[in-house]
Amino acid sequence: MSLRRPSLRSVALMVCTSAMIVVGVTLIFRGAGAPIEPARAVMPGSANLELPQPGRYVILAEEVIFPRPSVESRSALPSLELELTEIVPPQIRGRQIPVEPTVWLDWIYKVLSRGRGSNLGHVDIERPGTFRLEALPSADGAEPRGRGSVLLAFVRPASPGRMLWLLLGFSGQLVFSLRFIVQWLASEKSGRSTIPRAFWYLSMFGSLMILAYAAYTRDPVFILGFAPNTLIYLRNLVLLGRERAAETAARTGARP
């Protein structure tokens, strides 16, 4: 069976369609994937923090600055008592924001916000603004674990919109992976290696979902990796459609 080379018009149309998809998705969702930079401060001591959005902020100990942890105590952190106070213009100290202990939900927020380090608790901010953070060695400061400096980060958990985008990305990966199960089941059923039509549909839709998520997160690796793939999947569906149409026409013509 000879393979017919696609025409230049078909190739140009597929390239333009893929480029329009990538550019359109990127323009629609540009800026949506820009994460909020965590507010950081080296403690113990005091510092002003800008918390630009209301809601929950998870406090993470990202790095021990001094002294450098040894191999035996690499996970040891200085023991600190944190106080967060709202600053009301003009530079008037307002009410104190309670620092709540770590709960299990903070670990989920940490993952969704791409945070790193040890959880130290969380604070709930009613309105954005400037806050004064003060940290003093805790009562066990006489112990080695109570001494030293640590870099703290106030991480904003993922918004509901970001969670939906994460769901889209994971769903795209699931759809993209299901194509191999479909292909394997079809091959077992026919007793030979075959690629069913559903394989190309799952490949195309999964690729488009991952491509949309890649545009949201501004990931050039995934954008460049999945944009050309869509062309191949679409081209295979076009060829399968032509083959099916030709078979239908042949059967119709063979009837008396």
Bridge partners for 39 per DSSP = 154
231-241 residue pLDDT tens: 888 888 888 88
**Rounded-to-integer distance, Cα 234 and Cα 243, Å:** 14
**Rounded-to-integer distance, Cα 195 and Cα 17, Å:** 25
Three-class SS state of 66: strand
Report the percent of the chain where pLDDT is more than 90. Answer: 0
Confidence band for 13, pLDDT divided at 50, 70 and 90: low
- Give the mean model confidence (pLDDT) for residues 1-24: 57
> Taking the model in full, what pTM does it have?
0.51
Question: Do the Cβ atoms of 172 and 214 come closer than 8 Å?
Answer: no
Residue bearing the bigger pLDDT, 44 or 13: 44
Q: What confidence score (pLDDT) does residue 72 get?
A: 44
Average pLDDT over the chain, rounded to whole?
Answer: 75
Asked whether the predicted pLDDT for residue 1 surpasses 80, the reply is no
Of 168, 93, 73, the residue nearest 134 (C-alpha): 93
Asked whether the predicted pLDDT for residue 188 surpasses 60, the reply is yes
Confidence band for 31, pLDDT divided at 50, 70 and 90: very low
| Beta pairing class for 39-43 and 80-88 | unpaired
User: Which helix (H) or strand (E) element contains residue 229?
Assistant: helix 220-254
Confidence band for 71, pLDDT divided at 50, 70 and 90: very low
Give 68-72 contacts, CB < 8 A, sequence gap 24+. Answer: none
**Rounded-to-integer distance, Cα 236 and Cα 220, Å:** 25
Of 168, 163, 167, 202, the residue nearest 184 (C-alpha): 202
Confidence band for 242, pLDDT divided at 50, 70 and 90: confident
Question: Do the Cβ atoms of 147 and 78 come closer than 8 Å?
Answer: yes
Asked whether the predicted pLDDT for residue 217 surpasses 80, the reply is no
94-153 residue pLDDT tens: 778 888 888 887 887 777 677 778 888 888 888 888 888 888 766 554 444 445 678 888
Q: What confidence score (pLDDT) does residue 149 get?
A: 78
Question: Do the Cβ atoms of 65 and 151 come closer than 8 Å?
Answer: yes
* Cα 67 to Cα 120, 161, 170, distances in angstroms: 19, 40, 41
Say which amino acid occupies 15.
V
- Return phi, psi of residue 159, to 5°: -75, 165
Q: What confidence score (pLDDT) does residue 18 get?
A: 59
Tokens of 188: 């077992």
Domain boundary assignment for the chain? 8-32+161-249, 39-155
**Rounded-to-integer distance, Cα 164 and Cα 158, Å:** 10
Other Cβ atoms within 10 Å of 146 Cβ, number: 16
Q: What confidence score (pLDDT) does residue 38 get?
A: 82
The sign of the torsion formed by the CA atoms of 159, 164, 168, 170 equals: positive
Asked whether the predicted pLDDT for residue 20 surpasses 80, the reply is no
Confidence band for 156, pLDDT divided at 50, 70 and 90: confident
